[in-house]
Amino acid sequence: MVEYQAAQLDIVFHALGDATRRRMLRDLAQGERTVGQLAEPFAISLAAASKHIKALENAGLIHREVRGRTHHCRLAAERLAAAHEWLGYYERFWTGRLDILERLLREETAQTSPAPEGDDP
């Protein structure tokens, strides 16, 4: 089971590793798009766009439905949740480390700063 999940994460992160595919996912977050609509913002052929879409589809990040001669794509965010969960571990790790660093810096500042002068009469 763990190996399956690791392999799925590998596929998802590979798909997310390309800027064109990330932009396509962002566009799909706004709603369903055709392959032509997904290809439109890029200077790429429909064949190249189809390859990007196939990578997203293989990763389980989108669903494609053929209606007549038109391919419609929609976001399938479930796999993104698994990637988000994996990244969450490292977010908690770095947040903890940065909290420790902040505490140490405050302690150091408190030790090296002169004590404020009081209002002596």
pLDDT in tens, 25-47: 999 999 999 999 999 999 899 89
The answer to whether 39 and 46 have CB atoms below 8 angstroms apart is yes
- Element (H or E) spanning 111, and its range? helix 78-112
Q: Kindly state the average pLDDT of the residues 10-16.
A: 92
Of residues 85, 71, 73, the one with CA closest to residue 29: 73
Residue 96 forms part of a structural domain: no
- DSSP annotation of 113 reads S
Residue 49 has pLDDT above 80, yes or no: yes
Residue 16 forms part of a structural domain: yes
Number of independent structural domains in the chain: 1
Residue 24 has pLDDT above 90, yes or no: yes
- Cβ-in-10-Å burial (0-12, 13-18, 19+) of 52 comes to buried
**CATH number assigned to the domain comprising residue 69:** 1.10.10.10
- Residues 72-119: tens digit of each pLDDT: 999 998 888 888 888 888 888 888 888 888 888 898 888 887 766 665
Residue 102 forms part of a structural domain: no
Stated pTM of the model: 0.71
Whole domain around residue 18: which residue ranges? 2-77
pLDDT band at 2 (very low <50, low <70, confident <90, very high): low
Residue 45 forms part of a structural domain: yes
Tokens of 23: 């932009």
Residue 106 forms part of a structural domain: no
Residue 36 forms part of a structural domain: yes
Residue 115 forms part of a structural domain: no
The answer to whether 33 and 23 have CB atoms below 8 angstroms apart is no
pLDDT band at 52 (very low <50, low <70, confident <90, very high): very high
Residue written as token pair 């997904």: 38
Alpha-carbon span 25 to 22, nearest angstrom: 5
